[in-house]
Amino acid sequence: EPEVTQTPSHQVTQMGQEVILRCVPISNHLYFYWYRQILGQKVEFLVSFYNNEISEKSEIFDDQFSVERPDGSNFTLKIRSTKLEDSAMYFCASSDPGQPFNQPQHFGDGTRLSIL
């Protein structure tokens, strides 16, 4: 079964540095998402991406964050000037074409980001 793959599985970064989290969505999916989960808390929506542009973003997704689909397969989340509170599990997800609300999002295994 096709999978969403995320790299790296664990990223350790010094506070203030930039980090890029990478994702390869399922190949025929058209909608892409980033979520984050601070340890022990609920999963929070960050941003959705469709047709090469951001379709929606949450209040968490401020100027510190950006997303990009640099080629036909990768989908990246860049976090600039990382802060301690950016430490979390970051999930990439993708979903099928068609009505988005009735399609499950398939999640990658996540990247655990630790800011020191």
Partner 1 sequence: AQKITQTQPGMFVQEKEAVTLDCTYDTSDQSYGLFWYKQPSSGEMIFLIYQGSYDEQNATEGRYSLNFQKARKSANLVISASQLGDSAMYFCAMREGQTGGFKTIFGAGTRLFVKA
We find the least distance from the C-beta atom of residue 49 to partner 1, in angstroms, to be 9
As a three-state string, the secondary structure of 77-91 is EEECCCCHHHCEEEE
Nearer to partner 1, 16 or 60 (CB): 60
CA distance between the termini of the chain: 36
Q: Note the residues at the interface with partner 1 (CB under 8 A).
A: 31, 33, 35, 41-45, 48, 50, 55-56, 58, 89, 91, 93, 99-110, 112
Question: Distance between CA 66 and CA 98 in Å, rounded?
Answer: 26
Choice between 13 and 30, CB closer to partner 1 = 30
Give the nearer residue to partner 1 in terms of CB position, either 69 or 112. Answer: 112
Q: Minimum CB separation from partner 1 for residue 12, in Å?
A: 16
Tell how strand 111-115 and strand 10-13 pair up: parallel
